[in-house]
Structure 1
Amino acid sequence: MKLDGFRMSARIDRGRVQLLTRTGLDWSEKYPSVSAALAQVTVESPYLDGELCGVGDDGLPSFSLTQAATDGQRGVRSVYFAFELLHLDGRDSASQPLIERKALLKPLVSDISGVQFNDHETGDGELIRRHACRPGFEGVVSKTIDAPYAPGNRGLWRKAKCLNRRGIRCRRLDRS
């Protein structure tokens, strides 16, 4: 799913969490509940990539809630959607295929309240996009399943945004 929040890396070292923006700012103190949740990851030093989102009562990410949490509004439920594992206990995993990185990541973040594994689907891309648009997700991001991690797009991703979040009209945005 394409999520409506802030892209954020999570560097964890023996329970100490740093939430880092794309520009390297440490926003850990802005999101104490997410930092506390990520501190529960049981391996010594994982480095994750994901999206930090404010989540509404309907369970869907909301950018306005994400901004409210960033501005210090209390009571906003924040969730870290983990979708990449770049390093694990000092070993580079970014060079492994996406499917292998996902297999390593899933057990690390499963069953931690405030952290959600952003799984992948294979199959009919158009059908997956329509199903994502129906409940109100921002869209979908397609990645090459056997590709290593590449920061930014690097031509390996395809985004498809929903034009009408309450309906199923979607637009394909290739290589953006």
Structure 2
Amino acid sequence: MARNTRSAAAKRGKLSSKAAAEPPRWVEPELCRLMEKAPSGPRWVHEIKFDGYRMGARIEHGQVTLLTRSGLDWTGKYPETAAALSKLPVESAYIDGELCGVRPDGVTSFSLIQAASDSGSSSLVYFAFDLLFIDGEAIGFLPLGERKARLEKVLESPPHGIAYSEHDSADGERLRKAACEHGLEGLVSKRIDQPYKPGERGTWVKSKCLNRSEFIIVGWTDPEGARVLIGSLLLGYYDSIGRLLYAGRVGTGMSQQTLRNLHEKLEALAIANMPLDEKPPRKSRFGSPLELSRVHWVKPELVAEVTYLTWTADNLLRHTVFVGLREDKPAEEVRREMPRS
């Protein structure tokens, strides 16, 4: 069983140029800033934006630990991936990557990884895109280009289920449009001359094909008609001063099994009082009126990933589709993403 707890040593890793006896216990991953368009120029390289779980892989003498972006140990949840990583030609290493379900056409799918048991019934691939430590040497201080060159050498003949994330130095916006045409989520663009910066945003940026973000589930409404268990999920996010604000509703994209799973999880989190700091509007220009008396409120703990068309003028999501639960992201970290031009 996966251990969904932080270890006592799971703190932000300190990256330095000094030799180290063992890889860090956990390194807070470098994060991406959202931009409307992909950047271009000689200092930028671009990778496909994957649709899975961000995962650090700590390897020490054949023992592998898979760590989420918040430091949770998920080794027990994906034992086949851990076993594959243990076959890499290293004594010790710390790799940054993303664990994904992959469709037959090669496109990553978040729904596949959620459904995977990692027993061979689903195709899971760990895409490695950075190397922070190898065989007693901490290398996070090196420029990205040098780190990736060393990672590529490690992954010259990777075991099944492990892949090197290629990059391209061509025009970023042209590559983003090509990715969109192929049904991909977007691009991640990185400064090739920069060191790894745990927890920071700026030298890595993401540009998406779809509007897609994470929101906190704050409640649900009763179903209508033939629908069962849940009508729609009420969504929220924290603003810059820590207020939990209403973002809108999502009612599409959920199968019968998903509705049952969500209902079970949400019932366990039920509370009497609204967790939002401001009441949601009863009416909006889009969608049916919200009857607060029929809303079931929950503790703001579950995080949902949602696609949407746009934000309305009154700061509500429009044309939403449920993608899945983000078990790897704490609710307190959810903020409204504002793309920069």
Give the 3 Å change call, closer, same or farther, for CA 42–109 of structure 1 in structure 2. same
Give the 3 Å change call, closer, same or farther, for CA 92–174 of structure 1 in structure 2. farther
Higher fraction of helix: 1
2:249 matched residue in structure 1: none
The answer on 1:107 being equivalent to 2:153 is yes
1:160 matched residue in structure 2: 207
Q: Deviations over 1:86-105 (max 9, x none)?
A: 11112111000000000000
Specify which of 131, 140, 156 is matched with residue 187 of structure 2: 140
Q: Deviations over 1:97-135 (max 9, x none)?
A: 000000000121232221111111102111111122222
Amino acid at match of 1:83: F
1:168 matched residue in structure 2: none
Q: 3-state SS of the aligned residue for 2:208?
A: strand
User: What is the number of equivalent residue pairs in this alignment?
Assistant: 166
Q: Deviations over 1:36-90 (max 9, x none)?
A: 1111111100100000001111111100011112xx3751111000001011112
Give the Å deviation of 1:23: 1.8
1:116 matched residue in structure 2: 163
Q: 3-state SS of the aligned residue for 2:151?
A: helix
2-structure distance, mates of 1:151, 1:73 = 29
Give the Å deviation of 1:174: 4.1
**Unaligned 5+ runs, structure 2:** 1-47, 212-337
Contact kept in structure 1, 2:79 and 2:118, CA below 8 Å: no
TM-score, normalised on structure 2?
0.46
Q: 3-state SS of the aligned residue for 1:126?
A: helix
2-structure distance, mates of 1:13, 1:148 = 23
Amino acid at match of 1:79: V
Q: 3-state SS of the aligned residue for 2:70?
A: coil
Contact kept in structure 2, 1:50 and 1:81, CA below 8 Å: yes
Give the 3 Å change call, closer, same or farther, for CA 73–100 of structure 1 in structure 2. closer
1:50 matched residue in structure 2: 97
Q: How does 1:33-112 map to 2 (within 5 A)?
A: 33-69=80-116, 72=117, 74=119, 75-112=121-158
Report % sequence identity: 53
Amino acid at match of 1:77: S
Contact kept in structure 2, 1:138 and 1:162, CA below 8 Å: yes
2-structure distance, mates of 1:122, 1:90 = 31
**Unaligned 5+ runs, structure 1:** 165-171
Give the Å deviation of 1:137: 1.6
Amino acid at match of 2:147: R
1-structure distance, mates of 2:171, 2:94 = 31
Amino acid at match of 1:21: T
1-structure distance, mates of 2:129, 2:340 = 20
Amino acid at match of 1:102: K
